[in-house]
A = this chain, B = another copy of it.
Amino acid sequence: MSLDPEHVRMAEALLFASKEPLDEAVLAERLPEGADIPAILSTIEEQYRHKGVNLARLAGKWTFLTAPDLSWLLEEERETTRRLSRAALETLAIIAYHQPATRAEIEEIRGVGLSRGTMDVLFDAGWIRPRGRRRTPGRPVTYGVTEDFLIHFGLDDIKDLPGFDEMKAAGLLSTEPTGIFNDLAQTEEDALEDEEEKEF
């Protein structure tokens, strides 16, 4: 199947014009019917591969970004990103790697109680969201990261988190309580992920 170069131009224009990443459904909607979106995207990706601006896939959506090696050049255009406290940063990492995670699970990994402000900061930044409730006593709320989180950290998927696969393989990402300090009477935590109820 040959690719209509007009379709490539249109996709280019749309992706360039928008600051937000666009997903394939949005592109399909705006391009003429029958446009081969995946082929168009890979064509653009290839065309821009060596340019100062590349096509990138973030959170399953497509956007143009400046080339990673030119970061040093763009000092002036850089947005000031908020500096997170260590507590907030660790909490964010724990939620990202363990999601869905409950407050208690975050606290267990960090070994300290979670202050209200820490979660607030992450909510404010738009990086975490409530995902549902655990079907365990007390039905605690579980948290996960947002699409904005993925976009901000330049990730296409949660599996692209640095070291994700290795950590998972090493069993470091289970949310099973170790139960060593408080002799937790919790037992059936194994199937937790599947048992989560969607509520939000």
Contact = CB atoms under 8 A, between A and B. Distances in A.
B70 A9 contact: yes
Interface string A4-21: 000011111110111100
* Identical subunits present: 2
A97 interface: no
A30 B66 contact: no
Interface string A84-109: 00000000000000000000000000
Interface in A1-57: 8-14, 16-19, 30, 50-53
B14 A73 contact: yes
A125 to B, nearest CB: 22
A77 interface: yes
Interface in A113-160: none
B18 A52 contact: no
Interface of A: 8-14, 16-19, 30, 50-53, 64, 66-67, 70, 73-74, 76-77
Nearest to A64: B16
Nearest to A16: B53
A51 B10 CA distance: 9
A73 to B, nearest CB: 6
Contact of A12 (B10, B11, B53): B53
Contacts of A76: 30
Contact of A16 (B8, B10, B11, B66): B66
B17 A51 contact: no
A51 B11 CA distance: 10
Contacts of A16: 52-53, 64, 66
B19 A73 contact: no
Nearest to A7: B52
Nearest to A20: B77
